[in-house]
Structure 1
Amino acid sequence: MLNLLDQMPLNLLILAALTLGLAPFVPEPHIWEKLKMLASGTLAKPIDIFDLLLHAAPFILLGAKLVRMALK
């Protein structure tokens, strides 16, 4: 698993976080809407939880890659 993370190009992960992670951009990034729902306690539907995880995945991978690079 970590070997796969090491093989992922950093610029691809940045691009994924900026596009897939933030889409749709208007009226506000979707992940921001889901994080607000999480903070207010209204994130209850399974589709909303899945949507949050889907939009958060590029940011999680980017963060893991950056931590892995820092530790090497």
Structure 2
Amino acid sequence: MELLKNWKLILLLCLTLGLAPFKPEPHIVGKLRWIAGGAKGMTAMDWFDTLLHGLPFLLLIVIIILKIFKK
């Protein structure tokens, strides 16, 4: 729960791990397009990679939701 209080670290993770590699497009964007297109040919490694790059964004969403409902 201590990690969810450190929003600056989560934001840094979103901008680095979440978006890396940056060229030609952020990696998570390519994976989400692949999933939106039907995820044909995705292996277990591709799913793990999507989870790895998407986890910082999921944590950031959880922090935002907790802050909204805390008020």
TM-score category, normalised to shorter length: 0.7 to 0.9
2:49 corresponds to which residue? 51
Distance in 1 (CA, whole Å) between partners of 2:6 and 2:18 is: 17
Q: Give the paired residue count.
A: 69
Superposition CA RMSD, Å: 1.4
Percent identity of equivalent pairs:
45
> Is contact 1:34–1:43 with CA below 8 Å preserved after alignment?
no
Distance in 1 (CA, whole Å) between partners of 2:44 and 2:13 is: 24
Q: What's the TM-score once normalised by structure 1's chain length?
A: 0.86
Q: What's the TM-score once normalised by structure 2's chain length?
A: 0.87
Taking a change above 3 Å as real, the CA distance of residues 43 and 56 of structure 1, as seen in their structure-2 partners, is farther
Which range is displaced more, 35-44 or 20-29? Answer: 35-44
Which residues of structure 2 form unaligned runs of 5+?
A: none
**Map 1:18-57 → 2, pairs under 5 A:** 18-41=15-38, 42=40, 44-57=42-55
Letter of the 1:38 counterpart: I
1:71 corresponds to which residue? 69
**Runs (4+) of structure 1 moved beyond 6 Å?**
none
Which residues of structure 1 form unaligned runs of 5+?
A: none
